[in-house]
Amino acid sequence: MKKGIEGKVVAITGASSGIGQATAELLARYGAKVVLAARRTEKLEDIVAAILQNGGEAAGLKADVTRKEDLNHLVTLALTTFGRLDVMINNAGVAQLYRMEELDVEGWEQMIDVNLKGTLYGIAAALPVFKKQGSGHIINIISTAGIAIVPQMAVYAGTKNAVRTISEALRQESEGRWRVTGISPGYVKTEFVSNIRNEALRKANQEKADQISIPALAIAEAVAYAISQPDNIDVGDIVVRPAAQG
């Protein structure tokens, strides 16, 4: 159990693997009640079952963050199962890496739908509850790609920087009613790179990730740190990356 986390109800998107899974498992060990969403129901069910077997509290449902009604269902599940929602973690994300001139319009749309609109849908689902409660916490998983701009990552970095901008505006608008945290991971040991369609860039990024990436638990610990702070302390931005990452 961990002070500041125990008893809190936390919803997490993209929770079937990687950062989402590590965060769910860590927060459950710290005493949070986790409500998990992902598209891969078999993996999600296994994670929920393992948390319950270890004495934690968890629930899950199949959800696609590009469907705003799915995020509403996630918040409803939190309310019906645990009676409230304290934290919404918008973690689901996707990257498709190409030079702009290659016109991967399908990839652009996918990243906008998942990384940007998916985060907005999570915010939209949670804010009415936070306003009614008078408290809450939005945590958006962003990326170091939006800090250091490089070729092939223009649209991916663009979606992440949009989330960064939205997070800061949302923080200021809250005037203390809810907290907002942005966490930007660098290379992390997840399945993230394997979903890149561009074979050459997938291999290049995989090689680099294999060499320097840090465990997803490092990001989960950053999430836990932000949540565990007293209610009047808002951790705005955290960057967590390998020491060897440029």
pLDDT tens for each residue of 120-131: 999 999 999 999
Dihedrals phi, psi of 131, to nearest 5 degrees: -65, -40
Whole-angstrom Cα distance, residue 150 to residue 153? 6
Task: Give the pLDDT of residue 212.
Answer: 87
Distance between terminal CA atoms of the chain?
36
- Catalytic residues, by residue number, are 156
Q: Is the pLDDT of residue 112 over 90?
A: yes
207 belongs to a structural domain: yes
Mean pLDDT for 101-121 is 97
Residue 196's CATH number: 3.40.50.720
Residue entry with tokens 């979903």: 195
Total domains, the chain: 1
Q: Is the pLDDT of residue 72 over 70?
A: yes
Which residue range forms the structural domain that includes residue 84? 9-237
Mean pLDDT for 11-37 is 97
188 belongs to a structural domain: yes
69 belongs to a structural domain: yes
Structure tokens at 94: 């996707």
pTM for the whole thing? 0.94
243 belongs to a structural domain: no
216 belongs to a structural domain: yes
pLDDT, tens digit (0-9, with 9 covering 90-100), for 176-206: 999 999 999 998 987 666 667 777 767 776 7
1 belongs to a structural domain: no
Contacts of 65 (CB under 8 A, 6+ apart): 13, 14, 37, 71, 90, 92, 114, 117, 118, 119, 121, 122
95 belongs to a structural domain: yes
Q: Where residue 150 falls among pLDDT bands split at 50, 70, 90?
A: confident
Task: Give the pLDDT of residue 205.
Answer: 67
Whole-angstrom Cα distance, residue 118 to residue 105? 18
Mean pLDDT for 155-179 is 96
90 belongs to a structural domain: yes
Amino acid, res. 70: D
